[in-house]
Amino acid sequence: MSDTLPALRGLRCDVFCRVIDNFGDAGVCWRLVRELRLRYGWRVRIIIDDLDTLARLAPQVRPGLAIQHAEGIDIARWSDPLPPDAPADVVIEAFACEIPPAYAEAMARRSPVPHWINLEYLSAESWVEECHGLLSPQPHSTLKKYFYFPGFTPQTGGLLREKGLFSERAAFDEQARAEFWDSLGIAAPTADELRISLFCYENNALPVMLNEWATGNKPIGVVATSGLAARQVESWFGEQLPERRVLRRGSLTVYGIPFLSQAGYDRLLWACDINFVRGEDSFVRAQWAQQPFIWQIYPQAEEAHFAKLGAFLNRFLGSYPDPRSIRECFLAWNGKGKMAESWRKFAENRQLLGQHGKVWARQLDQTGDLANNLVSFVRGN
Ligand code: TRH
């Protein structure tokens, strides 16, 4: 579908976002509102309860302002009650965050009633395909709310991907890579060095990997992202790792960096040979980066996250010649298995996995991107 459908340009859209924890809620919503504004010309407002988190990944946002405007997007701090203004044409409730009752009542009084979408968390599980696009029953209301599931197949809402991402990624050549490392004050990797980015939750397998990397015979450069990754590296070294600081032990060198903008973090994923990612948005960005990656899934009660992890690996490794070695490494990084051994096999398979990742990214691209699919969904309902 064309990006410039006249019928939809100028549409007003409110995106509600509650930050549960970490960065993904804000990260996904900010990516979505930028797409709807910059690509489809919608008049977009993000209503978010945690501007500090948003400002970390979108530095142009100022946490102290209740109302502001950045990149053509209105940004409002979600403080009940909301500023009294008419509900938008399209209302997106991110991750079932429950919009204010007064806003929903105003929606019901509006004619025509707004499109109301519940944007769900990403999962590769097959039930998502049956639920995507279904009506979410609203007792005592004339409003219709729809489930909208991101996903990996054409029967889902697809994945967030900016229109020019593939060409930007392709243009990231050796010169751009060298400039990127220079911008971080980090030496470009030597020819025999394996450069790794590390973004993770608390992870008992990390000390095992740090020891593996330090005692191995190959130079390993780890870029530890600000926060949990850097903290765990510090406790292993017994030393602080502020940004622009380097810690060394044996064959291992670890670089401290600041929290980057989303665009900066994308470039880190593009510049590294292997990326350790987590949650939802960095997990998707690693797939678009087309470099081998290992995913620490967001832990859930009763180990429910292993069903999600398994469902993704089944899809991702469907056509891969040696799925077992990759699956074992993902499981070990998520606390189930022998990390050092499965890592060695993963690293040996790095080139083959890189080629597989390129084919996978192109395959994902066929499902259409989430913003485009969502605009079509609104147009069709
Ligand atoms: O931060 P996360 O663990 O967020 C999680 C997940 O979204 C999870 O699904 C959700 O249930 C939970 O929050 C509440 O991981 P995620 O999803 O990768 O989001 C991180 C965001 O931060 C992503 O947009 C990338 C961005 N980022 C930067 O912009 N700069 C950085 O330096 C880093 C490390 C990340």
Question: Are the C-beta atoms of 158 and 369 separated by less than 8 Å?
Answer: yes
Asked whether residue 193 carries a pLDDT value surpassing 70, the answer given is yes
Cα 305 to middle of ligand 1, angstroms: 16
pLDDT of residue 7: 53
> pLDDT category, 140, cuts 50, 70, 90?
confident
Asked whether residue 187 carries a pLDDT value surpassing 60, the answer given is yes
pLDDT of residue 10: 86
pLDDT digits (tens, 9 = 90+) for 230-260: 999 999 999 999 898 999 999 999 999 999 9
Which residue of the set 14, 120, 280, 328 is catalytic?
Answer: 280
Which residue of the set 25, 93, 281, 369 is catalytic?
Answer: 25
pLDDT of residue 83: 66
pLDDT of residue 80: 66
- Cβ neighbours around 175 below 10 Å, total: 9
CA distance 187 to 255: 10
Ordered DSSP codes for 55-124: HHHSTTS-TT-SEEEETTEEEEE--SSPPS----SEEEEETT----HHHHHHHHHSSSPPEEEEEPPP--
Tell whether ligand 1 has an atom less than 6 A from the beta carbon of residue 27.
yes
CA distance 370 to 325: 31
- Calculate the dihedral angle through the C-alpha atoms of 139, 19, 94, 305, rounding to the nearest 10 degrees: -90
As a whole number, mean pLDDT of residues 139-155 equals 93
Verify whether residue 280 is a known catalytic residue.
Answer: yes
Tell whether ligand 1 has an atom less than 6 A from the beta carbon of residue 22.
yes
> Strands 252-256, 246-249: parallel, antiparallel or unpaired by DSSP?
antiparallel
Question: Are the C-beta atoms of 47 and 378 separated by less than 8 Å?
Answer: no
**Residue of 281, 300, 305, 334 with the most ligand 1 atoms within 8 Å of its CB, for mutation:** 281
Q: How far is CA 199 from CA 55, 100, 236, 267, 333, in A?
A: 19, 34, 16, 14, 12
Q: Whole-number mean pLDDT of the chain?
A: 94
Cα 203 to middle of ligand 1, angstroms: 16
pLDDT digits (tens, 9 = 90+) for 318-361: 989 999 999 999 999 999 999 999 999 999 999 999 999 999 99
As a whole number, mean pLDDT of residues 21-49 equals 96
Cα 200 to middle of ligand 1, angstroms: 10
Tell whether ligand 1 has an atom less than 6 A from the beta carbon of residue 57.
yes
Question: Are the C-beta atoms of 118 and 136 separated by less than 8 Å?
Answer: yes
Tell whether ligand 1 has an atom less than 6 A from the beta carbon of residue 25.
yes
> Comparing 89-93, 98-102, 131-135, which segment has the lowest mean pLDDT?
98-102
Asked whether residue 2 carries a pLDDT value surpassing 70, the answer given is no
Asked whether residue 4 carries a pLDDT value surpassing 70, the answer given is no
The residues, any chain, with a CB within 8 Å of residue 14's CB and separated by 6 or more, are: 44, 45, 47, 87, 88, 90, 91, 92
pLDDT digits (tens, 9 = 90+) for 283-327: 999 999 999 999 999 999 999 999 999 999 999 999 899 999 999
Asked whether residue 91 carries a pLDDT value surpassing 50, the answer given is yes
Tell whether ligand 1 has an atom less than 6 A from the beta carbon of residue 189.
no
Asked whether residue 174 carries a pLDDT value surpassing 50, the answer given is yes
pLDDT of residue 133: 97
As a whole number, mean pLDDT of residues 102-107 equals 92
Q: What percent of the chain has pLDDT over 70?
A: 97
Instruction: Return the residue matching tokens 């190959």.
Output: 218
pTM of the model: 0.96
CA distance 104 to 318: 43
Q: Which atom of ligand 1 is nearest to the CA of 19?
A: 14
Ligand 1: which residue has its CA nearest to atom 18? 282
* Closest among 13, 20, 16, 32 to 101, alpha carbons compared: 16
Asked whether residue 1 carries a pLDDT value surpassing 50, the answer given is no
